[in-house]
Chain A
Amino acid sequence: MKTTNLAVTDRSLTAHPHALPGEKVDFGRPMLRVFGFRIDLRVVITAGIITLIALACGFAGLMLGKFSLTPTEVFQGLFGAAEKRIVNTVVGEWRAPRIIAGIVLGAGLGVSGAVFQSLTRNPLGSPDIIGFSTGAYTGGIVTIIVFGTSFVSTAAGAIIGGLLTAVVVYLLTWKGGVQGFRLIIVGIALTAMLNAFNTWLIMRADLELAMAAATWGAGTLNGMGWSTIAPAAVATIVLGLACGLFSRDLGTLELGDDTAKALGVRNEPIRAVLIVIAVALVAVVTAAAGPIAFVALAAPQIGRRIARAQGTSLLTSAAVGALLLVAADLIAQHAFGDIQLPVGVITVSIGGIYLIWLLIQEARKAS
């Protein structure tokens, strides 16, 4: 005979397993339930504050320049209500598109980086490291050389280039499923090859086209106008929201493939859809502003640390991405007197330092 009634110790389980109505789980932090959503108050407030700082930087960007304006003039200019017509033009036509670009494209890069870092379960797994930005740039250069410099054709070329790169990385990584670390290594190798190819393309092209491609290649918001940023911003917002729809699956995938599938996530189709959306996101940004490094890499990590978010938070990644790009562009534009640098130069410089720190951290974790 068999009984399972073994000696009861004070480590024995389950005195009152059932929860009573109205009892709450202690998450160790304030949680709000709004309709069907559970909202981590700390994450929302942090993201809100960072967004406000980004908007303040944007406002400063509207004031600063050769033609410097007062806050009142900026407000009037935003609504096209300034007495001097030139103020309306400076704010509405020259500066606002650039600020919108910094905020929206930065947020897009942040979200894209968060998705890839989550999928690869590695802070190095960001689209600027694993070749998708570079691939999008390749697609862009090819279309510039073949069709000339219009935003729509460049964007289409960049999206195709980015997606093709993703397909190649995915296929080279595939081994009955995609494993994060392999994907990063394959991506880094492909980035190197694409960079060489890009250089070759630029060297072969006509001088004028080559210069356009090279300026754009550094990653810049210089000369950003509504015709470029309007479609890019709409696409970025739509794609960013699409990522948001999958954030629950993303969080569950972080628990490992077996666990995620056991919890009802269709791993491979969901992963494929997320890769396509996030590649498209980075490709749209690249088409509008060139391959801007570092924002996608750093924004999710910085956001997560500040908000102490659980796993990946697309919201804080978007907010920090916006702040990083708009602030970097402010520095690029105004910190060096009359010389305007491409914003990509600033992000690469800061990003290099961050990358070294990150590699040291990861090496420490590994040993």
Chain B
Amino acid sequence: MSIPNPAGAASPLIAENLDLAYDQRQIVSDLDVSIPDGKFSIIVGPNACGKSTLLRALARLLPPAKGTVLLDGNNIEKMKTKKIAQRLGLLPQSSIAPDGITVAELVSRGRHPHQSFLRQWTDADEAAVLSALRATNTEELSSRLVDELSGGQRQRVWVAMVLAQETSLLLLDEPTTFLDVAYQIELLDLFSQLNHEYGHTLVAVLHDLNQACRYADEIIAMKNGSIVAQGAPETIITSELVNEVFGIDCTVIDDPVTGAPMIVAGAPKKTFAQR
């Protein structure tokens, strides 16, 4: 069962009246969101606005203080975690590579939700791992130790691990942070391909607003634990919105390459202004 979202298509992931808190500190209050099916959605917003917290709740890593998250119409808190893992993949902000683990071995761990004690390795596992290595351009690294890789290579390996999970719903928590711009583009292109060629539904938290505008079908702009605007970049990104969300002066122009909105920040301040 799926619940239709405003756009008419079924939404695989919905949050209703969501309150999220760490210990006693409320981060997100009374939030509603539905993730459009088959689209690349990008969550943007200032630091500490609750983007990653929302993503963690959507991935059932953080139980809501109030409200529900629905995965394909089912309350995610009541679903088996293995069933969820077969449907929804997550690239967390930080993961730990065990000492001495090779790329192929790490990517193989992505098969966990498809395995059981007596069925630990099948043709399907072999094919999924190989495809994931190829999709992320890491096949030639497969026998290398993860510890020896550069930051960009390592991030691609983690993405490969999530792809090996073979879920059509992917949540990505700041996947491009700490990468140089070439790797950022490479990864975002990969996500875009997964979205366009396989019809995967993607939700990513990104910091770079212009990259978000280029790649997103849908932008979810957050501030202080609430959603300020949600929609296609062309319709919602205006200088007023950017000012409201990030508190900066800017001009919005058309991206000369893609035609998407492009944010140009106001002139740099070079002197200490008089108060």
Contacts and interface: CB of A to CB of B under 8 A. Distances in A.
A262 interface: yes
Contact of B98 (A27, A266, A311): A311
Most buried by B among A11, A24, A310: A310
A28 B108 CA distance: 13
Contacts of B129: 25
B53 to A, nearest CB: 12
Contacts of A23: 126-127, 130
7 contacts: A1-B258, A4-B214, A27-B102, A35-B118, A248-B115, A262-B88, A262-B89
Nearest to A40: B105
The 8 closest A-B pairs by CB, nearest first: A28-B143, A264-B85, A38-B121, A19-B130, A264-B113, A262-B90, A264-B82, A311-B98
Contact of A12 (B84, B118, B189): B189
Contacts of A84: none
Contacts of A337: none
A262 B86 CA distance: 9
Given A11-B186, A13-B136, A252 B257 contact: no
Contact of A13 (B82, B84, B94, B137): B137
B120 A36 contact: yes
Contacts of B130: 19, 23-25
A121 interface: yes
Interface string B173-216: 00000000010011001101100100000000000000000110
B134 interface: yes
A256 B233 contact: no
Main secondary structure of the interface of A (DSSP, over half): loop
Contact of B144 (A18, A28, A245, A266): A28
Interface string A265-288: 110000000000000000000000
Interface string A236-264: 00000000010010011011101101111
A29 B142 CA distance: 11
Given A26-B104, A28-B104, A263 B165 contact: yes
A6 B137 contact: no
B109 interface: yes
Given A2-B217, A4-B258, A259-B90, 12 more contacts: A13-B193, A14-B190, A15-B134, A23-B130, A24-B126, A33-B121, A35-B118, A256-B94, A258-B95, A263-B113, A264-B85, A311-B100
Most buried by B among A2, A35, A309: A2
Contacts of A38: 108, 120-121
Given A19-B130, A254-B96, A261-B61, A14 B193 contact: yes
B102 A28 contact: yes
B154 interface: no
B144 A263 contact: no
Contact of B119 (A36, A121, A256, A308): A36
Contacts of B189: 4, 6, 12-13
A37 interface: yes
Interface in B76-112: 81-86, 88-90, 92, 94-102, 104-106, 108-110, 112
Contact of A264 (B97, B112, B190, B259): B112
Contacts of B134: 14-19
A9 B60 CA distance: 37
B85 A262 contact: yes
Contacts of A28: 102, 104, 142-144
A304 B234 contact: no
A258 B233 contact: no
B44 interface: no
Nearest to B261: A2
A320 to B, nearest CB: 16
B85 A14 contact: no
